[in-house]
Structure 1
Amino acid sequence: MAAMFSQNPIMNGPNYSFSDTPRTNNAPEGARQHRFDPYTDNGGSTLAIAGADFAIMAGDTRHTSGYSINSRFSPKCFRIGGTTADQSDATMVLSVVGFAADGEALKERLDTVCKMYRYRHGKPMSVNACAKRLSTILYQKRFFPYYAYAILGGLDEEGKGAVYSYDPVGSYEREQCRAGGAAASLIMPFLDNQVNFKNQYVPGSGEGHALQERERKPLPRKEVEILVKDAFDGAVERHIEVGDYLQMMVVTKDGIEELIMPLKKD
């Protein structure tokens, strides 16, 4: 009786595999479709928040393939454009999430461009110029794009925090905050409310449409760090591709500070 229920009626036997899906009756005998698919999604999530004089880039470190965890410490935020091996004098941070190999390739290419600029001009590339260059790099590969969601962060010419978010083919926008990756749909509504002050109104300012929206202004660093940790603590409870550790990189005029904090590992 157990054997009967273990058999697949379509394949007329047990051990059904998706790699041997049944062909339709209209297909010629022996016909098989061959397909080249170079992309995969390695999970994880990133977020970025711009402050008055800082920018925070953060991401979890879980690297997945389906329901398997390939690595519990695979960082998604990288220093860009430094002159030393440890990038200690870098001024910008790039976060990439999606297909890890494409993210690594994109990071290496942008880092090379920033290093060449620094060598030729004797100064680091500005975050605005780097943002435009990254857009060009992504657009050049539009017919076989990098399967990665990129966010670039740093300080602009006025010393204010700057965050640029991208789609895979180079369209970009400067924003106050942005989340990307597997848990972006969970984190972004939280950021919209707590950072962009969406659906927040001044108490006593009126009723209905007369209500005045709360003025949007940059948050202090300590408050942003708490929001980032809260965002990922909530995401790991609801998404299996996010977890293990939280990598947070804070860009200020004094350099880039990196913090590693634990997250749920199940």
Structure 2
Amino acid sequence: MTKQQANWSPYDNNGGSCVAIAGADYCVIAADTRMSTGYSILTREYSKICKLADKSVMASSGFQADVKALQKLLAARHLIYQHQHNKQMSCPAMAQLLSNTLYYKRFFPYYSFNVLGGLDNEGKGCVFTYDAVGSYERVGYSSQGSGSTLIMPFLDNQLKSPSPLLLPAQDAVTPLSEAEAVDLVKTVFASATERDIYTGDKLEIVILNADGIRREYMELRKD
């Protein structure tokens, strides 16, 4: 039994993997479409990516009832914000809202592990990574889910995000072009699918840039 199989939880009826990469003028968010419980695949066509605003997209792994409840709550609070301010939330504002929402439930937390990606007010790509109780950080790239232990070393090797302790501070965005980032995401998922039983079937990729949002798909292993 592999490490990924041994760590299975009865609440983790999704598993899978999510990845986000921020660039100078784009953000790439990707997730596989397999939902499974243990060795049982419930569906091969489940999207783990949710559009929260025009410039904010969230990918989530974990217990799907909690993920759906979290998405509905964020959508409701974003609607209230739009009525009050007559504009949509920026991605950094949405990141703070998600952190507050998770922290509010810290004593009975949402069993969801999220990455939030989008464009900030300057048009730069931004990625925020979270734990289950709302602690978050703006990074150049991140991964969550059962395959993250396989994906993050690969991304670290390829992208080498600068330390936040460097002075003067350096941008967290990655040096890759948009096409290179998409190719890297496809490569890491093809690799993770070979080792993680909860990741597979199909890869959904969402690309945000100044022109808007577009989606791409790639087939993954189905066994």
Superposition TM-score, scaled by structure 1 size: 0.74
8 Å contact from structure 1 (residues 56, 250) kept in 2: yes
Matched residues in 2 for 1:101 and 1:59: separation? 18
Q: What's the CA shift for 1:240?
A: 1.0
Of residues 183, 187, 191, the one that matches 1:226 is: 183
Matched residues in 2 for 1:126 and 1:179: separation? 22
What is the match of residue 5 of structure 2?
none
What RMSD over aligned residues (CA atoms) do the two structures have, in Å?
Answer: 1.7
Matched residues in 2 for 1:182 and 1:39: separation? 13
What is the match of residue 121 of structure 1?
85
Q: Percent identity?
A: 47
What is the match of residue 261 of structure 1?
218
Of residues 157, 161, 167, the one that matches 2:125 is: 161
Deviation string, structure 1 residues 140-185 (Cα, Å, up to 9, x no partner):
1001100010111111111100000010000000000001101100
Flag structure 2 segments of 5+ consecutive residues without an equivalent.
1-8, 163-172
8 Å contact from structure 2 (residues 11, 62) kept in 1: no
- Seen in structure 2, the aligned counterparts of structure 1 residues 144 and 117 have a Cα distance that, compared at 3 Å, is same
Of residues 132, 138, 141, the one that matches 1:174 is: 138
Q: Which has the larger radius of gyration?
A: 1
8 Å contact from structure 1 (residues 44, 242) kept in 2: yes
Q: What's the CA shift for 1:217?
A: 4.8
Q: SS of the residue aligned with 2:123?
A: coil
Matched residues in 1 for 2:174 and 2:18: separation? 22
Residue 235 (structure 1) aligned with residue 199 (structure 2): no
Q: What's the CA shift for 1:40?
A: 3.4
Q: SS of the residue aligned with 2:11?
A: coil
- Seen in structure 2, the aligned counterparts of structure 1 residues 191 and 132 have a Cα distance that, compared at 3 Å, is same
| Amino acid corresponding to residue 258 of structure 1 in structure 2 | R
| Amino acid corresponding to residue 129 of structure 1 in structure 2 | A
Q: What's the CA shift for 1:39?
A: 3.1
Matched residues in 2 for 1:260 and 1:108: separation? 25
| Structure 1, 161-170 or 72-81: larger mean CA deviation | 72-81
Q: SS of the residue aligned with 1:165?
A: strand
> What are the residue-to-residue correspondences of 1:81-230 with 2, within 5 Å?
81=53, 90-196=54-160, 217-230=174-187
What is the match of residue 36 of structure 2?
64
| Amino acid corresponding to residue 84 of structure 2 in structure 1 | R
Deviation string, structure 1 residues 14-53 (Cα, Å, up to 9, x no partner):
xxxxxxxxxxxxxxxxxxxxxxx98334211101000000
| Amino acid corresponding to residue 35 of structure 2 in structure 1 | H
Matched residues in 1 for 2:199 and 2:186: separation? 13
What is the match of residue 47 of structure 1?
19
Q: What's the CA shift for 1:218?
A: 2.1
Matched residues in 2 for 1:254 and 1:123: separation? 19
8 Å contact from structure 2 (residues 13, 35) kept in 1: no
Superposition TM-score, scaled by structure 2 size: 0.88
| Amino acid corresponding to residue 123 of structure 2 in structure 1 | G
8 Å contact from structure 1 (residues 176, 196) kept in 2: no
Q: SS of the residue aligned with 2:222?
A: coil
